[in-house]
Amino acid sequence: MRSIEVDFLRGVVLIVIALDHVSYGVIQYATLHSYAYCDAAEVFVFLGGYASTSAYAGMAARSGEGAARRRFLKRAWELYRAYVLTAGLMLACGAVLTWLPSQPPLAADRGWQLFAHAPLHTLADIALFREQPFLSAVLPMYVLFALCVPLAVPLARRAPMSLLALSFAVWLVAPWLGHRLPDATGAGWPFNPFAWQLMFVFGMLSRLYPLSADVLSANMVRGLTRAAFLVVLTFAFVKLCVDVHPSPGYLKQNLASVRVISFLSIAWLCAQAAHRGWLRSLATRLPAVVMAGRQGLVCFVGGTLVSMSEETALHLAHVRTTELLTDWPIRLFGDVSAIAAMLVLASMASRLEVARTQPVAIRSSSLVRAPASAHHKPDR
């Protein structure tokens, strides 16, 4: 059974990811990366682990472990196709942006330049994950995670502490392991999967071993909540008032410990909010966001186009500064338009999914009714 809270959080995260990649946006100043040492990426990977474990466990219970393993092999292939599509969209956007008289910051990505110089070699590098065009870089990591789910979930059931210890050990040596990945840039994958698997495992264990209501209400847990709140406030003060310059990219690439601590503190507070019913209440009031969460892969791929489109539109409108109070009405309008586009995309994807599955359901029900009608004899 799907969790409306998880789908809601995934929808929020997908929208935030799209907005965070717009250089000239306004709402990004209120998103996680502005006041914490983590951002929407940690939430996205954590929820991916949670949702993947739920899907695998549910299918294994209904159809057996073999069917669940086959489904996740198929899922890995779906993620790979989404990666190739996203990479192609990034190359196409790069080609279009080169025709502009002045190019927005996103056009500086080297994907199109490499493709124009050596198209076949670049396509081969993309197919082998050696080159990962801008905004497609998180998907190769997800392909590997999908392949590992059939191994990790049974281990998490049998020996959760062993899985957690193994995950921590891999995370500690992740920078060294990351240099062994196929890479044409020399800088490593933008998301080192050996590091980020820790966040995925956190999500898996949270799904398999949720905290009970009694535990969440215990006195000791209240102390943890106060400590988490203090950590969040401290990090927000440091990020806003002291460390005003962006952290080096390797802190995100290899999932630095400060990002893990920052995320866990915020995740604990979110767990408390879910326990009190606040997230469910908010989710029921925003069903369109829940729908975006349920159409996660479509919204992620479409969100890359939304980000590029908003950035380009604001650039063409001569918005050339990231200062918060400069041109804020048109920048806010761009953000609102991007959110609306994401929600419309989710709605369209949901309707197409329903239209695609309904004929199958109708055929199945007719096959079930057919034998009864075949043996029915009219009254004489």
Q: Would you kindly state where each structural domain of the chain is located, as residue ranges?
A: 4-209+219-361
- For the cut 50, the answer to whether the pLDDT of residue 55 exceeds it is yes
pLDDT at 264: 96
- For the cut 70, the answer to whether the pLDDT of residue 174 exceeds it is yes
- For the cut 80, the answer to whether the pLDDT of residue 378 exceeds it is no
**Tens digit of pLDDT for each residue in 126-160?**
999 999 988 899 999 999 999 999 999 999 999 99
**Tens digit of pLDDT for each residue in 12-40?**
999 999 999 888 889 998 999 889 999 99
Mean pLDDT is lowest, of 78-87, 195-204, 235-244, for 235-244
**Tens digit of pLDDT for each residue in 108-120?**
565 777 888 888 9
Higher-scoring residue by pLDDT: 1, 31: 31
pLDDT at 357: 76
Angle formed by the axes of helices 4-20 and 278-285, to 10°? 70
Give just the sign of the alpha carbon dihedral 329, 331, 333, 339.
Answer: negative
pLDDT at 376: 46
Query: What secondary structure does DSSP assign to 138-161, as a single string?
Result: HHHHHHHHHHHHHHHHHHHHH-HH
Angle at 155 between CA 153 and CA 156, to 5 degrees: 65
Encode the chain in three state secondary structure.
Answer: CCCHHHHHHHHHHHHHHHHHCCCCCCHHHHCHHHCCCCCHHHHHHHHHHHHHHHHHHHHHHHHCHHHHHHHHHHHHHHHHHHHHHHHHHHHHHHHHHCCCCCCCHHHHCCHHHHHHHCHHHHHHHHHCCCCCCCCCCHHHHHHHHHHHHHHHHHHHHHCHHHHHHHHHHHHHCHHHHHCCCCCCCCCCCCCCHHHHHHHHHHHHHHHHCCCCHHHHCCHHHHHHHHHHHHHHHHHHHHHHHHCCCCCCHHHHHCCCHHHHHHHHHHHHHHHHHHHCCHHHHHHHHCHHHHHHHHCHHHHHHHHHHHHHHHHHHHHHCCCCCCCCCCCHHHHHHHHHHHHHHHHHHHHHHHHHHHHHHHHHHHHHHHHHHHHHHHCCCCCC
